[in-house]
Structures are given as C-alpha cells and as structure tokens.
Amino acid sequence: MGLGNSSAGRVSNLEYTILEKGHHLVVNFRGVMSERTNHVINECQKEINSRNTADKFVILNFDSVVSLDDEVVGSIRGLQSAIRRRPAQIRVCCIRPEWKKIFSENDIFLKDEFGEGLESTIENISRINQ
C-alpha cells in the first residue's frame, strides 16, 4: 500500500543529506521511499553510525519526500534503532499525517518526537539544550 501522491510517479529515487547543526544532525530526505529505495535508507543509517560526533539530537526531515510505501517501515525502524544507540534523541519533522500515523502505530517514533517544520523543531531543541 503506497502512501504518497500522484507526483510520486515522476520521481523514483531517494536521496539524503546530513548536516551538522551545533550538537545535532539534520537528515534531509528527498524523493520516494519505497522497496526499491530501501538501500538508501540503509546507507543513511551506516553513515550516521560512522560519524564520531556527540550529537544530542538527530532530526529526520521528510519535507521533500513525495511518497512512502509500507515496505520501508522496517528500514525506518532500523534507522531509528541506530540513532537511539548513538545515543541521541530523535525528532521527525515535516511529515504527513498519514505517515505519522503509520510510524506511531508501528511504535517507531514516540508522540513527542514529532515536530512541525524544520525551523520550529530546531528552535524547540535549542530550548531543551539551554
């Protein structure tokens, strides 16, 4: 069952960037999250694991994700587990309500780990760190 929109047919790949912002990482995903692009999520997990930084938070930004298929739930769970083992706290932002529901129902992310936009999520983290 795909959880995207009609524009997903035009995009078939997934990319990510990881930016360091103070004591946290921002992971920006762009494209389609599907069985075909699961390996990109796994590569992202490996890259996060290989970083020798003391990040307090890892923000997963879904703003540029055009669709998300059920087949990626396992890979997202693996990514979440790897982040928790760092240890770091997770924040998820710019996520569609239907994806938020899937992640919540599958116990991947906790209710307080969801933020709205990227900027407001970073601001909230800054307040926590003070």
pLDDT at 11: 58
- Cα–Cα distance between 23 and 59 in angstroms, integer? 11
By DSSP bridging, strand 89-93 and strand 57-68 are parallel
Chunked into runs of 10 residues, the chain (130 residues) has average pLDDT values of 41 89 90 94 92 84 94 93 89 94 91 92 79
- Cα–Cα distance between 75 and 92 in angstroms, integer? 15
HSE-up (13 A, CA, CB side) for residue 54? 0
pLDDT at 129: 65
Boundaries of every domain in the chain: 9-129
Q: Per CATH, the architecture of 9-129 is what?
A: 2-Layer Sandwich (3.30)
pLDDT at 22: 77
Verdict on whether the full-model pTM lies above 0.85: yes
- Cα–Cα distance between 28 and 40 in angstroms, integer? 12
